[in-house]
Amino acid sequence: MTADMNPDLQNKLMQFQQIQQQVQMIAQQKYQVDMQITEVDKTIDELDSLKKGAEIYKSVGTILVKKDDKAALKKELEEKKETLEIRVKTLNNQEKTLREMHQKLQEELTKEFQQEKA
């Protein structure tokens, strides 16, 4: 089918497939970032529930480091969460743009395929 298809149509079909792949990659990235946000939220909740004077350790690479400043650690986690939330917003914007491009290309392809059949 693609051998007798005009080059412009082949190009649009390739773009369509590439956009589909990009949307899937962004969805995977969003899922991973959402999971990180959930993990940070749980960590903050756990940190809040600790009794005063409880020992706190932070994972740094493959080791655990004792932390004495609970407030500083909580602030660090909240900043990390904020950064992750900004990343999700960016990914949402990218996904929206790509979906709009995808929809437009799909409409163009549908129209051109119908014209070729006629």
- pLDDT category at 19 given cuts 50, 70, 90 is very high
Tokens of 91: 């990914």
The answer on pLDDT for 38 being more than 90 is yes
pLDDT of 88-101, one tens digit each? 999 999 999 999 99
Confidence of residue 8 (pLDDT cuts 50, 70, 90): confident
**Going from the N-terminus, what domains does the chain have, and what CATH number goes with each?**
7-117 (1.10.287.370)
Q: Can you spell out the DSSP letters for the chain?
A: --TTS-HHHHHHHHHHHHHHHHHHHHHHHHHHHHHHHHHHHHHHHHHHHSPTT--EEEEETTEEEEE--HHHHHHHHHHHHHHHHHHHHHHHHHHHHHHHHHHHHHHHHHHHHHHHH-
| Mean pLDDT for the chain overall | 92
Mean pLDDT of 78-84: 98
Report field, pTM of the whole predicted structure over 0.85? no
Q: Report pLDDT for 20.
A: 96
Largest CA distance in the chain: 78
